[in-house]
Structure 1
Amino acid sequence: MSRAGKIALYSAGGLIVVLALCVAALLNFDWNRTKPWISSRVAEATGRAFNIGGNLSLTWQAPQGEQGWRAWVPWPRLAARDVSFGNPDWADKPFMAKARDVSFSIRPLPLLSKKIVIPSLALSAPELSLERLQDGRNNWTFGSGGKSEWQFELQRLILAKGEIQLKDAVKHANLKAEIDTLGNGKEENLRLGWRVAGTYNGEQVSGQGRAGGILSLQQKNTEYPIDASVRVGKTSIDAKGSLTDPRRLAALDLQLKIASVSMAQLYPLIGVVLPETRPFVTEGRLHGSPGQHGGNWTYEKFSGKMGASDLAGTLHYRGGEPRSSLEGTVASDFLNFNDLSPLIGADSEDSRARRGAKGEQPPDKVLPVENFRTERWNSIDADVQFTGRRIVRKEELPIDNLVTRVHLRDGVISLAPLKFGIAGGNLVSNITLNGKTTPVKAEMKLSARHMKLKQLFPTLEGMQASLGEINSDAALTASGNSVAELLGSSNGEIKAVINQGTISKLLLEKMGLNISSIIVTQMFGDKQIQLNCAATDFIIDKGVMQTRAFVVDTADATIHVDGKINLAKELLDLTIYPDTKGLRMISLRSPLYVSGPFKKPKVGVDKGVVALKAGSALALGALAPVAAALIPLVNVGPGEKSECGTLLAQATEKPVAPTAARKAANTSGTSGTSGK
């Protein structure tokens, strides 16, 4: 062998011996001596105290995911006992994390550029304390504050049997979770079981679930599996899906099922204003990411039930300033009208108690007194379209095709428009509630057209053969913090006209107290008589509805109604003056009165006052001052003759003072039998 060959052979042998000695030294080195250096480097990189109280040992592992020559550089893996990681100075507890056993690998090459990269950190029996202050500072964001050139990066976290506590002043959360490693199951990636308890926004929290055993904090495309069942107050949530990039909560994709006693109960959880409802349950796909100001979320193709009604739709939430926004569509193929009663606080006491409504409905009140929650209206803007294709109620009032667009912007709610079909006709209204003022200011405009009497009162036997049609307009303004207060302070007017048709003779006979005709009708059957016109006009001042005109004119009788309805005090004070157009064998011919509270009104006969004999003349006289305003409600087709239009035209041509006519009738008439 040549001299050069011998030199090369000896050099290679020497290098192998040196490497062997180094390996032997590393394997036999007491790594506990490096604990101060490791603690110092981690502290410099994170700005936190780091301590290894127990034994520290080293093993080597093949690198994962490295390419080229880097794949030949092994990774040291350290195992330590009794490890603690400190908290910032402002935190409640001195330690953010403690663990009985800790093992972690280190990529050696980044150390040359003063960067500590930990591909995997495994904690056994850990105790984690996560905390966030109201100003947004949190203890899970690491950094040295610019005092060190060292950087710290944790890529994966593995937990086994421990405890995690979260105190979040931003979300008003104080939660404690117990975690444990699960045995082998069908879903191999769900290796971590957990239970949680505590409070969130003042509500009690309990729940359990499963999650992935390995939490990837760096790989953005790695999905972390989640399977959870949680109860917050009166709300239960079941979720199954995945979380991508857990460190940033970049993408969440869940099949989400939510159930609660009212949709309004979700406000403390999601910060979105939803209406008071019957108990509900919905299920759909939730996907999106938290991001800034709440992030962007879509609850897609959800379906479910609200009371006895079905619901389906898609909602989009977008975080933003000064308010986030909610947009989407919701539809119901079968909407029970009674399920809408919680919207205005008109549901039963049991229903109110279940959804946690404050205060009670007074037993002597009909109008809902539950206050609006205006403090929530400014938390979000909304634009949601709602459609109810078939609507039913206990009394079988035929309402269908309800369509409304709910706008909430800067604390002002508007239903513009609110449209639905009713009794063969349609009703269109625009309602606005301004929650920026105290009390709430409200405006309402309503127009009802072509409502059929027969369909409007389907359960009233005497109306089944009626052919009349109702048109109506209303305009109101009000202020108040409940439906009762709004109506009790309202100002405006309500007008209605029933044009052409027939009406039950028995109903008219009962109104006129024509005893003989009532007996004959009951014995031999009812019949329909021609309805010429019915016109009503109420003016409303500070919650008091005063009749300006209320006349029913038929072939057999003319009926005039006069008086007040006090919405603030819920009192009726109406007098009905019937006048027949034919001879009756026995007729009391006395006015009727309807008085007393809405809950228990009284109907009786005013025997001290003789019925009007002026009949049609008085009706026209009462109608004359407002007939011109009522004429636009007479909407007939081309070529059709309107008896109501004729009557209103006559009223404008032949005005008669109602008060004078009534006095004349009272002084000249007698009670008992009479003819026209």
Structure 2
Amino acid sequence: MRTTTKLLAAVAGLIVILVIAAFLTDWRFLRGPVERIASDKLGRQVTLDDFRMRLRPVTRIRLQGLKVANIDGAEHPEMARADTVELHVRVLPLLHRAVVLERLAVDGARAYLARAKDGSNNWTLAREDDGGPPLDLTVRTLSLNEVEVNYDDRMLDVSAKLHAASDTPAPSGPAYGMKLDFSGKYHGGAFGGNARTGGIMTLRDSGTPFPFFIDAKAAATQVRAEGEVGDIFGDARIDVALDIAGPTLSVLYPYINLPLPTTPPYRIKGHLKRTSTQYDLTGMEGRIGSTDIAGDASYHIRPERPLLRAKLKSRVLDMKDLGPLIGVDPDEPAKPAAGMAQPQQAADRRVLPDAEFRLERLNAIDADVTLDAADVRVRGPWAFDDFSAHLILQDGVLKLVPLNFGYAGGELRSDITLDAREKLIRTNAAIAVKRARLSRLFPDVELMKKSEGTLGADIKLKTAGNSVRAMLGRADGTMGAAVTGGDISHLIVEAIGLDAGQALGLLISGEKEQQTRLRCAVATFDVKDGVATSQALVIDTDDTRIDGHGTIDLSKERLNVRLEPQPKDKSILVARSPIDIVGTFADPDFKIDKTTLFARAGAALALGLINPIAALIPLIETGPGTDADCQGLLSSMRGARNNAGGPPPPAKGR
């Protein structure tokens, strides 16, 4: 019994001695075995000038003169080398095949990382560890000093260089202890900048984030951010003030997986926070072109596709800043100098946008975005007041429900759906103009300012195509417009009827209070394969009825419409003749039917040779026009009639 007790005591004593020795020794004799094991695992030669280890629950390992050879055929003979590498390793997790580095500090190092177009690289292990599941590696903190990393990725077309060095913190302000300088090229575009961080970066599982500042530039895009970052390899908590500016938001893709639209130059500031898989940009304010923008946005990373949510507001929205969304060039074509080649003739120039929507971007993200603008600026004869839009993009289907404008004292409402799940985008559009005031439709036309009445319109189209031009060129559906109530300038009506007598009288007397009652105006078109054919086209006033017919070719952007005035009153000096609206959208032309006009003029000339007074006979209008059936016309297009606001006036007895 005593012998057994003595034996156990001796064994226990030996274990204690060994443990004490293990804790006291520096284990430098393991340098050779460590070199052999590392070389075997990496499949390349690994050498050390020195190896030291202090065995503890968190064991400290110090490597000096580390050299890791590169793979065969590489440009540089060494993949990495370092003067000093210090690792603090937790021992117990090793029993579960997990490597937890509480600290990794590298001093005086250089690394060359490369990947070929076929995906092969110089950092992948030569062989897999077949002793069980792969090791789980966690690095909690990182410290770098005089470390240079060269990265060449032919697969992503990226080349970059990073230099990290310790930095002396300023007496006041954030405790920056490390400076990072970086530069490189991405798809041929240069980028570069610098960053400052805490002397020790918390990479994982720490409640104490480190201070962070970055000032970077990619092509013409400038990014500045300052705040705190923590747990980079975990949840990557970010809390920074962000300031970003550039020529267009679209160039941020694919730097970030967010397919933003093409825009004019922009600058946006806000507070960016990241928690788990969500980024939040709050207090956002800035400008996109001439448009101010403010609001909040969030970006949620999801396995299937990311989700963007945003609620944005604008005090003044400049429509030219939205034009690039549908392929409209915001810049006016420059006028050529004398002696220079002339631009494309207006008759041949197209005006409908032909830039194609990017299918891959519409399928890369889901989105739910609202934008409200209190005031709208627009060039040309558009009477927009305010703007409101709700964009929903889900599974490649984009819905604008609604896309609304305040328009000429009324409103323009539209629901538009673009299905981008196939090669050709399928589009359904329903557009309605409600209670737009005639006096505000053409604010630059003095005669129209004195006209009253309200306009309603109803448009329903289905089509397929990847640009606005292609969509309209294949469209099927209906278009209708109606005007009810109010008055219209008498001079306009007489001018259309070519009633020189009354028009001259109105001009001499000054056209004050010279209005004629507008009984109704109706235009309906049936659209088939991009060609709109008139079904009804009537403008009816107390003095004149104007009938019309024709086509509008949306594919070729050509007009072919005839207006035939039928004055209801008697007058002299009438050279009534049909008017043709022809030409292109870019260069419309109004032509008088010369055959009819010359017939009257010839008769007047012939009679004038007999008796000058008799020359007026062909120019006397006896008033053959009759009232149009406004009730019947408007009932055939209930949507536009209702949008115009109110029933037509009763027929006036003749």
Q: Which residue of 2 aligns with 1:122?
A: 105
2:179 alignment partner AA? G
Q: Which amino acid aligns with 1:642?
A: P
User: 1:145 maps to what in 2?
Assistant: 129
Would you say how many aligned residue pairs link Structure 1 and Structure 2?
Answer: 598
Segment drifting more, 83-92 vs 254-263: 83-92
Could you tell which deviates more after superposition, 625-634 or 134-143?
Answer: 134-143
What residue is the counterpart of 2:562 in the other structure?
A: 575
CA distance in 2, matches of 1:287, 1:136: 36
The structure 2 residue matched to 1:415, chosen from 400, 414, 426, is: 400
The CA distance in 1 between the partners of 2:129 and 2:623, in whole Å, is: 96
Are residues 1:603 and 2:603 paired? no
Q: Corresponding residue for 1:160?
A: 145
User: Matched residues in 1 for 2:137 and 2:428: separation?
Assistant: 60
Output aligned runs, 1:201-212, within 5 Å: 203-212=189-198
SS of 2:636's partner is helix
In the other structure, the counterpart of 1:457 is 442
- The alpha carbon displacement at 1:143 in A equals 12
Matched, 1:314 2:320: no
Residue 95 of structure 1, CA deviation: 5.5
- 1:492 is aligned to 477
**Residue 589 of structure 1 pairs with residue 584 of structure 2:** no
* Contact 1:224–1:246 (8 Å) recurs in 2: no
One-letter amino acid matched to 1:54: D
The aligned residue for residue 550 of structure 1 is 537
2:321 and 2:330 in contact (8 A); partners too: no
Paired-residue identity, %: 27
* 2:287 counterpart of 1:305: yes
Does the Cα contact within 8 Å between 2:482 and 2:634 map onto a contact in 1?
Answer: no
8 Å CA contact 1:48–1:85 kept in 2: the answer is: no
Q: Structure 1 CA distance, aligned partners of 2:198 and 2:401?
A: 48
> CA shift at 1:490, angstroms?
1.2
1:189 alignment partner, one of 164, 175, 186: 175
Whole-Å separation in 2 of the counterparts to 1:605 and 1:637: 31
Please list every run of 5 or more consecutive structure 1 residues that lacks an aligned counterpart in the other structure: 1-17, 64-69, 353-359, 651-675
Distance 1:230-1:350 versus aligned 2 partners, 3 A rule: farther
Indicate conservation of the 8 Å contact 1:201/1:268, yes or no. Answer: no
The one-letter amino acid of 2:388's match is: V
In 2, are the aligned partners of 1:313 and 1:329 still within 8 Å (CA)? yes
Question: Would the alpha carbon gap of residues 223 and 554 (structure 1) be closer, same or farther in structure 2, given more than 3 Å must change?
Answer: same
- Structure 1 residues 467 and 399, CA, compared in 2 at 3 Å: closer, same or farther? same
Change (3 A) 1:397 1:366: closer
Structure 2 counterpart of 1:332: 314
Q: Summarize the alignment of residues 500-519 of structure 1 with structure 2, pairs less than 5 Å apart.
A: 500-519=485-504
- Comparing 577-586 and 84-93, the one that deviates more: 84-93
Taking a change above 3 Å as real, the CA distance of residues 489 and 98 of structure 1, as seen in their structure-2 partners, is same
Cα root mean square deviation, aligned: 4.3
Matches within 5 A, 1:627-638: 627-631=634-638, 633-635=640-642
The worse-fitting range, judged by mean Cα deviation, of 447-456 and 127-136 is: 127-136
SS of the residue 1:564 aligns to: strand
Residue 54 (1) aligns with residue 37 (2):
no
Deviations 1:511-544 (A, max 9, x none): 1222333333333312222211111111112211
Q: Is the 8 A contact 1:190 1:225 kept in 2?
A: yes
Distance 1:95 1:301, change over 3 A: farther
Encode CA deviations 1:194-232: one digit per residue, 9 max, x unaligned: 222223466432222222222234552231322112223
642 and 492 in structure 1: CA distance in 2 versus 1, 3 angstrom threshold = same
Q: Confirm or deny: 8 A CA contact 1:383 1:406 kept in the other structure.
A: yes
How far apart, in 2, do the equivalents of 1:112 and 1:589 lie? 100
User: After superposition, where does 1:157-556 map in structure 2 within 5 Å?
Assistant: 157-166=142-151, 173-185=158-170, 186-187=172-173, 189-200=175-186, 203-248=189-234, 250-288=236-274, 295-348=277-330, 364-395=349-380, 397-526=382-511, 527-556=514-543
- In structure 2, relative to structure 1, the CA distance for the partners of 1:602 and 1:48 (3 Å cut) is same
Contact 1:405/1:416, CA 8 A, preserved across alignment: yes
Displacement of 1:483 in angstroms is 0.9
Amino acid at match of 2:432: S
Q: Distance in 2 between matches of 1:39 and 1:351?
A: 69
**Letter in structure 1 aligned against 2:243:** K
Question: With CA pairs under 8 Å and 6+ residues apart, which has the higher RCO, 1 or 2?
Answer: 2
Q: What does residue 561 of structure 1 align with?
A: 548
Structure 1 residues 107 and 314: alpha-carbon distance in aligned structure 2, compared to 1, 3 A threshold: closer
Counterpart code for 1:128: A
Deviation per residue, 1:92-143 (Å, 9 max, x gap) = 97755322x2153657987997998765443333223457899999959999
- Structure 1, residues 273-326: CA drift from partner, whole Å, max 9, x if none? 32222222211122225x7xxx32222231111111111222222222432222
Work out whether residues 472 and 496 of structure 1, in 8 Å CA contact, stay in contact via their aligned partners in 2. Answer: yes
Contact in 1 for aligned 2:533/2:551 (Cα 8 Å): yes
Counterpart amino acid of residue 126 in structure 1: A
Q: Which consecutive residues of structure 2, in runs of 5 or more, have no partner in the other structure?
A: 1-16, 335-343, 601-620
Aligned to 2:637, the other structure's residue is in SS state helix
1:130–1:140 contact (8 Å) kept in structure 2: no
